[in-house]
Amino acid sequence: MSYGIDAKLCSLENAIERIEDGKTVATSGFCGAGHPEALTAAIEKSFLETGKPQNLTLVYAAGQGDGQSRGLNHFQQEGMVKRTIGGHWRLAPGLGKLAAVGKIEAYNFPQGVICQLFRDIAAGRPGCITHVGLDTFVDPTHGGGRLNDITPPGLVERITLGDRDWLWYKSFPIDVALIRGTTADIHGSITVEKEAVCCEVLAIAQAVRNSGGIVIAQVQHLRDTPTPPHQVVVPGMLIDHIVVADPEQHSQTFAEQFNPSYCNAPSPQTLADAQAIPIDNIPRRLIAARSCDEVPDNAIANLGIGIPEGIAQIAQQRGDLERFTLKLESGAIGGSPAAGLAFGATSNPQAIIEQTAQFDFYDGGGLDFAALGAAQIDA
């Protein structure tokens, strides 16, 4: 096999033709950031025109979509997907409807677990063994994360190790990786310099390569020289096919085509000049402001999607962004986390790490504070 860029470049159509019926497909992304929109849109187009590929198993960690037609909404055509294993369903309501009416097998597993499971599959381990999900709806004693009656049990098992209970999310082979970066160099290596997130692209690519599958990368640019090695996120040896996407299918998030602040480091001047978007909804503003009062000085704090997004806006208005460090599970550290369909991105972050590594830190107890959104909380 050639590792050079010329052997890997192909059209969208040729890339999608390589995805066979019944295969397991993993996609990267966080809302719209890092999602290979050109590839997933082309899969839907192929299915509508030819009926292929069909009966896929779709695996993803963070929610990827705009709640309407982009992202994983491209997989909402009946017959396209047989099974879905996902960490967040709300941004792809078409998929959710298929699950609700029993048209597909469907699992809702923790987002971080799925990220880490990609890495475990790559390493040939039996799966992800973790405390995350114990005694919740993903625990097999409470349904095992199955979203309907046609979904078989068995992907997660409760086990005992060292006199302690754990959940074992089991490994399975993944046949196709659909990932995204900014640039592919002369060796086919991928960088993410203009992306809002790194996601878990390396873990997905390694999992698929070691499952004997194919890795398809969507990029925006080609580089005719080698990339400095420390900047490579996915080495070319892992990439089978590269597609250069049109700009309209490579927007940085589903809210904006490109926002330079999402990939630029902070400085005293950028923080001083940044203007927070006001929160027009008064109840949301009051809840966000009251929550911001609770963040301790020097805290490492995670913000969830929804109302918690407003904490970043309040903190920016108050000049509090240097009083604590705000983080998102997408991998962004510091700066001012974005809201809405740009959630997952951060303006002027201090660092952007892999989503998988971010969850390692969270799972181990590294957070001092977390604000989580909920529709309803019981007694």
Q: Which residues are catalytic?
A: 329
**Helix orientation angle between 111-123 and 355-363, rounded to the nearest 10 degrees:** 110
Among candidates 131, 142, 88, which has minimal Cα distance to 111? 88
Which residue stretches of the chain are H helix? Answer: 5-8, 12-17, 37-50, 93-100, 111-123, 201-210, 268-273, 282-293, 309-318, 355-363
Collapsing DSSP to helix, strand or coil, 276 comes out as coil
The residue to which tokens 């398809």 are assigned:
216
CB atoms within 10 A of CB 137: 12
Collapsing DSSP to helix, strand or coil, 144 comes out as coil
Q: Which helix (H) or strand (E) holds 158?
A: strand 156-161
Q: Which helix (H) or strand (E) holds 243?
A: strand 241-244
Long-range contacts (CB closer than 8 Å, 24 or more residues apart) made by 72-78: 72/27, 72/40, 74/40, 74/41, 74/43, 74/44, 75/40, 75/43, 75/44, 77/44, 77/47, 77/48, 78/103
Q: What are the distances in angstroms from CA 100 to CA 51, 114, 150, 353?
A: 23, 21, 11, 35
DSSP state string for 24-45 = EEEE--BTTBT--HHHHHHHHH
Task: List beta partners, residue 108.
Answer: 86
